[in-house]
Structure 1
Amino acid sequence: METNNEIINDLKGLVNIVNDGKEGYESASEATDSIELQGLFLKYSAQRAGYAMELKEHIALHGGDSENESGGILGALHRTWIDIKQALSSKEDVAILSAIETGEKAAIEKYDQALEDYQSHADHIELLQRQRTGILEALKEIETYHQRLIR
Structure 2
Amino acid sequence: MGNNTEIISDLKGLVNIVNDGKEGYESAAETTDSVELKAVFRQYAAQRSGYAIELKKHISDHGGESDNEEGGILGALHRTWIDIKEALSSKEDAAILGAIETGEKAAIEKYDKALEDYATHADHIELLQRQRTGILEALREIETYHHRLADQ
TM-score higher than 0.5 here? yes
Residue equivalent to 1:81: 79
Shift of 1:81: 3.1
In 1, the alpha carbon distance for the partners of 2:80 and 2:125 equals: 30
TM-score for the superposition, normalised by structure 1: 0.95
In 2, the alpha carbon distance for the partners of 1:82 and 1:4 equals: 33
Matches within 5 A, 1:13-52: 13-52=13-52
Residue deviations 1:64-107, cap 9 Å, x none?
A: 000001111x2x34322321222233310000000100000000
Matches within 5 A, 1:37-76: 37-72=37-72, 74=73, 76=74
In 2, the alpha carbon distance for the partners of 1:68 and 1:84 equals: 21
In 1, the alpha carbon distance for the partners of 2:6 and 2:139 equals: 28
1:102 paired with 2:102, answer: yes
In 1, the alpha carbon distance for the partners of 2:45 and 2:75 equals: 16
TM-score for the superposition, normalised by structure 2: 0.95
Residue deviations 1:26-85, cap 9 Å, x none?
A: 00000000000000000000000000000000000000000001111x2x3432232122
Identity %: 70
In 2, the alpha carbon distance for the partners of 1:26 and 1:95 equals: 15
Unaligned segments of structure 2, at least 5 residues: none
Unaligned segments of structure 1, at least 5 residues: none
Count of matched residue pairs: 149
Matches within 5 A, 1:104-143: 104-143=104-143
Residue equivalent to 1:11: 11
In 2, the alpha carbon distance for the partners of 1:88 and 1:52 equals: 26
Residue deviations 1:109-129, cap 9 Å, x none?
A: 000000000000000000000
Moved over 4 A (4+): none
